[in-house]
Amino acid sequence: MYKRNLGSSLSVSAIGYGCMGLSHAYGYAVEKEDAIRRIHEAVDIGYTFFDTAEVYVGKYADGSPSINEEIVGEALRSLRHKVSIASKGGIGLDTDLKITPRSQPRELRKSLEQSLKRLGVETIDLYYQHRMDPAVEPEVVAEAMRGFIREGKIRFWGISNASEEYIRRAHAVCPVACVQLRYSMMARWNEKLFPVLEELDIGFVAYSPLANGFLTSAAKGDPTFGGSMDYRSKMPQYSQEGREKARPLLELIETLATEKHASPAQISLAWVLAQKPYIVPIPGSSKAERIRENAEAVTITFTQEELKKIDTLLGALSVPIFGEQEKNGF
């Protein structure tokens, strides 16, 4: 897989691997041995960028906890020379996805130290403030991150879910390597940040690039996904209304997939890659064939006419989607 740069110095695979779903948010966690096997398979395919967070915690079928950072750390410990690990800290998250920011420097340090321990590493390649904290100025957070870099505990830092003002203020104190934001064909509101990212040479890591699986064959499946532990069962794009409103887009993706001998997921990821050279999507999957399929999206290209056709359709759509509240800030 070819590479892309996040900021001026962090080079990673053009598509990263979002590890969250191995433990968190999509039903029972994948059994540990299988999760580690998936991560190893991803490295063999060419992924070099793996994303996790302190709050990505779930349960195995027997009720025992699945700690995503511990799994990622164990899987990649012997492969550190080949990969970059990203993690996030500074929030609490309850079972209803209610977020509590915790970004005071002492809280960030506590989160970081615990993440280092769970991952079993001395340095995290990319460490994000998981959410802006209205009680803590961005300059204070940036100064704390600069201290962590000086100590050798992190190599680069980023902000997940941030506004333009926050990014600018933080970057002025300690250069931000990248931001992590929701981005897909169905979630384009963060495109407004493209000019400032280009001005400041900041990368863009796109989470949920497949709209939580909706832009794959998952849109045709069971909308309940087997129970409340899978958050997709509550996402508006999977409702009957959401599916109906998205039908023209799904049909276009299917048509392009047929024409290019690709899958809908590959078309959707290739579209994200085509938008800007500094965007790195991080889809996740627990299935080996999907992990390989996602990686192969880097081989798909679009003509300008195809991109214009897609943009015209996207501009006319109004589909309810999980995360839409982020349009008005975090």
Crossing angle for the helix pair 164-173 and 138-151, nearest 10 degrees? 40
* Distances in whole angstroms, Cα of residue 179 to Cα of each of 26, 220, 239, 244: 24, 32, 30, 32
Cα 40–43–46 angle (5° rounding)?
Answer: 155
Dist. CA 257–CA 268, nearest whole Å = 9
Beta strands 57-59 and 65-67 are: antiparallel
Measured in Å, how far apart are the chain's first and last C-alpha atoms?
Answer: 33
SS3 184: strand
User: Which of 17, 26, 56, 278 is labelled catalytic?
Assistant: 56
Dmax over CA atoms of the chain, in Å, equals 54
56 is catalytic: yes
d(CA 302, CA 306): 6
Query: What's the rounded Cα separation, in Å, for the pair 213 and 281?
Result: 13
The residues annotated with a catalytic role in the active site are: 56
